[in-house]
Chains A and B, each alone.
Chain A
Amino acid sequence: MTPGPRVSPAARRLLLAAGVFGPAVLLEVGLDRFVADSSVRQLVMTAAINVMIAASLNVINGMAGQFSIGHAGFVGLGAYAAAIVASHLHLALGGGDPTFAHSLVVVPAAVAAGAAVASLAGVLVGLPSLRLKGDYLAIVTLGFAEMFRLVLTSVPLDAKSGVAGAIAKLGGQIGYSGASGQGVPLYAGPLWVFGAASLIVVATWRIKFSGWGRALRALREDEIAASAVGVDPTRYKVTSFVIAAFGAGVAGALSAIMRDGIGIVQPDQFDFRLSFDAITMVILGGSGSITGAVVGALFVTFTVKLIELAQGLDAVRLFQSEHAWLDLNALRMVLYASVLIALMIRRPEGLFGEREPLFARKPRGAAPAGAA
């Protein structure tokens, strides 16, 4: 009921669109120009991809109160599907250097493929989630992700025919580097990566603050009461899995074809460590909070990088040369873990709990927050 500045709905939509795509367009134009170091550009884009991964996992682990530890599987499926589609399209379009004009065709096709494949897997993994809860569901999701990875790594590379032959073309442990083996074409510039990250954040926001989000939270609280008022657990749980898998597929797709990426998709990029990183991001920020997922993703991405950078400092190097027994790589993980433990002791519910601190919900009677 607070009398805010009156903005017409159309104007709000326009503002939102500008807020969502403005930064993406600016980065598309400016990132290459102003950030000369491609490793920094890669880091910034990786952060955006991690935001997508955390925001989508938040739909399952936060909003729906399920516990998936296999999110890397969905990301990986998206990455492989997109890499295959992108590299074949690239060849069909005549090869050469990826151009912006071509990216308008290749990126949507590759992302759609990645999202579709991941969503399909989301249905398959979502179905057992109806009967399983807590630890048991977690094991199913972990099993799915590991199956995906192990099938890719353990296929004999000399297989020529059948399913094994098709999978062997993906390069096994070594990884998939495009149809011609020249590397996956890197079409997705900042516009795509940041645009998709913004879209996914807005989409999960809108799901949270709608009847769907409300129904998911109700199911999380009390399944019997929720189904007694017409919330069908099957429909809502499976759909939440599919939504999360879709987001993870988009993230994986863009990670495979992003500019300044590495041009190769490997099974080990999608092992359980990625799943656990994703869970860390969500829990750190606060399960169910979208602000939390975004902040958690940025925090994890940059903290790991900062510790890496600190490793390269002269003072640190000097220190290590004097103490040869010191394993800096191991220490990095200890340091990272300490930061996480300290945070979780200080704030057991994560940084924001389930709240969205920058966007306090309006009192009742007003439109729900984020209804722009």
Chain B
Amino acid sequence: MSALTLGSVGITFGGLRAVSDVSFEVPAGSIFGLIGPNGAGKTTLFNLVTGVYRPTSGTIRFGDVDLVGKKPAAIAAAGVARTFQNIRLFGQLSVLDNVLVACETTRTTGLGGALGRTRAFADDEGAMRARALELLRVFDLEGVADEQPTSLSYGNQRRLEIARAMMLRPRLLLLDEPAAGMNYGEAEGLKAQIRWLRDEFRLTVVLVEHNMQVVMGVCEELHVLDHGETIAHGTPEAIKRHPKVLAAYLGEEELAPGDLELAAP
């Protein structure tokens, strides 16, 4: 059973083919890595899955649900949550409110309840608050619940984005470079957290990441893109030795070939 299935997905912007003919299946309950050099189309794929872009060709299925043509909010409501490469928090809202925004799809009372301040509304709001605080506790952000997210450290902002995504009660979580800007210790913590999230909430996790320490340490299956095309697919062990992957990364100045090896456990 696959949680997410992409079939020959492609998108062109003007004349540029950003992603072409990408197909893969993400097994339900797995931690799946999407890697590749900068500009490979990884984030574009996330944007296609979450409805920010509409694919020019191909199919995207989340379980039995066809995601192509659905609006981002509807896809979120269906159970797909994500974080962003460039952190997108609500700067003027408190940390707690940032998480609470994500309860709109699961709440049971609407505008009428809010206007009448009914008992159901109070119970609903109370339950959401309790859940949001619980998530903040899980991500070690309880102490800053009333602060503005802009005052948080970079790592805490990334964790807050994950907490906000988890408030949706997703079944599929897309993490876009969650380890960016994290040091070794923080990245180790993140690995444990991702595994814990998957087990605790029975999630499927798809990860876009450059940090090989995280990718090789936590992913069970990898899909490698370069210039919008699939170049390899397999277990981390196989990918590490894949000639095309090594070639793609060799072409990049920032990553030395040894980086892949260094990440070995």
Residues of chain A at the chain B interface (Cβ within 8 Å): 9, 13, 203, 206-207, 210-212, 214-215, 217-218, 220-222, 224-235, 239, 354, 363-365, 367-368, 371-372
Contact = CB atoms under 8 A, between A and B. Distances in A.
A72 B121 CA distance: 34
Top-6 shortest CB links A-B: A210-B114, A230-B105, A232-B73, A229-B102, A225-B88, A230-B76
Interface in B102-132: 102-105, 107, 111, 114-115, 117, 119, 121-122, 125-126, 128-129
B231 interface: no
Contacts of B100: 211, 214
B125 A368 contact: yes
B89 A227 contact: no
B88 to A, nearest CB: 4
A21 to B, nearest CB: 16
* Secondary structure dominating the interface of A: helix
19 contacts: A207-B111, A211-B107, A211-B114, A217-B92, A220-B92, A221-B91, A222-B88, A224-B84, A225-B84, A228-B52, A228-B76, A229-B76, A229-B101, A229-B102, A229-B105, A229-B165, A230-B73, A364-B145, A368-B125
Contacts of A354: 92
B121 A217 contact: no
B164 A229 contact: yes
A371 B109 CA distance: 15
B24 interface: no
B77 interface: yes
Given A212-B114, A371-B117, A232 B71 contact: yes
Contacts, number: 112
Interface centre among B50, B76, B165 (most CB of A within 10 A): B76
B93 interface: yes
A135 B18 CA distance: 32
Contact of B146 (A230, A235, A363, A368): A363
Nearest to A233: B73
A234 B71 CA distance: 10
Given A207-B114, A221-B93, A228 B82 contact: yes
A354 B89 CA distance: 18
Given A217-B93, A363-B146, A206 B101 contact: no
B168 interface: yes
A7 to B, nearest CB: 14
A330 B52 CA distance: 53
Nearest to B101: A218
B245 to A, nearest CB: 30
A226 B101 contact: yes
A222 B90 contact: yes
A368 B121 CA distance: 12
B104 A227 contact: no
Contact of A228 (B81, B93, B119): B81
Contacts of A224: 52, 72, 84, 88
Given A225-B88, A229-B167, A231-B73, A211 B104 contact: yes
B74 interface: yes
B133 interface: yes
A10 to B, nearest CB: 11
Given A218-B90, A221-B91, A230 B96 contact: no
Given A9-B119, A231-B104, 17 more contacts: A9-B122, A206-B114, A210-B125, A211-B128, A221-B91, A224-B52, A225-B89, A226-B101, A228-B72, A228-B82, A229-B81, A229-B105, A230-B105, A234-B71, A239-B111, A365-B133, A372-B117
